[in-house]
A and B are shown apart, each in its own frame.
Chain A
């Protein structure tokens, strides 16, 4: 993970990473408007649909995704574009990273309910 500094002790590293994730999620929650950059995205799956079904991430950065499955069914977050396959258990959750992406659109789906579980990520070049 990009936000995790290398420290010698694995336990310390784990704790640090955890702290970093919490801090990041907090920062994303409170400061997303000011910076225009979101570093953690929470996706919810309910009735085999993603919420949000479309979201934007900064290009060239790794972004952490937390997928919460509120359906009583197994799903596989599957994206050919993002080169990802992550299984999420019924009522379970999973965390994974996407990117760094070049600017553009990337689609993803829930492979087991592809008729409804469809979504899109747009990577945009940061302005400045």
Chain B
């Protein structure tokens, strides 16, 4: 049971972290709970569909179907996160003012909520399809102890939800005036990591060159397939042996998004500086 719990937890950890960051990044935008919940729901449905067509997906694109599909949805997520950063650079100050002085939520945040719900759906879909297949295999064909395995799986899912909640609450400890600067940075890192990972998938699908198979090797320090390594991989795109093209993509996306986000800082100063 614990083995199953750990397997499922490893798979949902990444999605859990992303949902937590999205929750914090959309703090104070009216109706976001509904959108995020909708994103999770859509992701679960999507995971079911991907699981259902897993065999066909594998065979698509001359056998590179899984890699091409992963790259495509990761790129979609990067576009959505970029959209969010652009939206935030225009609306962050307004949001903060509403939250601080008026105690109100900011309305008319639908555009970024749609983008962020899509990101959540993609994160859940990516990791969820493997969980669905894993649990389906147990449920449909049994095993040594299907009941214990399934409850272990559910325990792992609960663990993923706990991670979401923990990172969300942790980020809320940041003072409101600084919250969106921090979440924008996190969102930019998230997007850069996803873009780098998309590049790796495209290399695996033979669509782009790797530009160097490993630029460095830090697996002696922190492997990217352990729990901490996976968490850092999801949050900042950590890779213990990055490909050249992965590193280049990461740098370009991060630099561009930081430049977008900086616009926020060049707007007029808030009436009362937080310091």
Contact = CB atoms under 8 A, between A and B. Distances in A.
Interface of A: 1-2, 4, 14, 17-18, 21, 62, 64, 72-74, 76, 78, 80, 83-84, 86-90, 92-97, 100, 102, 111-112
Contacts of B130: 74, 76, 87
Interface stretch (B60-68, B116-124, B247-255): B60-68
28 contacts: A1-B206, A2-B206, A4-B62, A14-B62, A18-B62, A64-B63, A73-B137, A73-B138, A76-B130, A83-B200, A86-B66, A87-B66, A87-B129, A88-B58, A90-B137, A92-B58, A93-B55, A94-B58, A95-B58, A95-B59, A96-B64, A96-B66, A96-B67, A96-B204, A102-B213, A111-B7, A112-B7, A112-B137
A27 B68 CA distance: 28
Interface of B: 7, 54-55, 58-59, 62-64, 66-67, 129-130, 133-134, 136-138, 140-141, 143, 200, 204, 206, 213, 219, 223-225, 241
Contacts, number: 73
For B55, B59, B136, the residue with the greatest tally of chain A CB atoms inside 10 Å of its CB is B55
A59 to B, nearest CB: 12
A90 B134 CA distance: 9
A55 to B, nearest CB: 19
Majority secondary structure, B binding face = helix
B123 to A, nearest CB: 16
Majority secondary structure, A binding face = mixed
B7 A96 contact: no
Question: Shortest 6 CB-CB distances between A and B: which pairs?
Answer: A95-B63, A72-B141, A74-B137, A74-B133, A73-B137, A94-B58
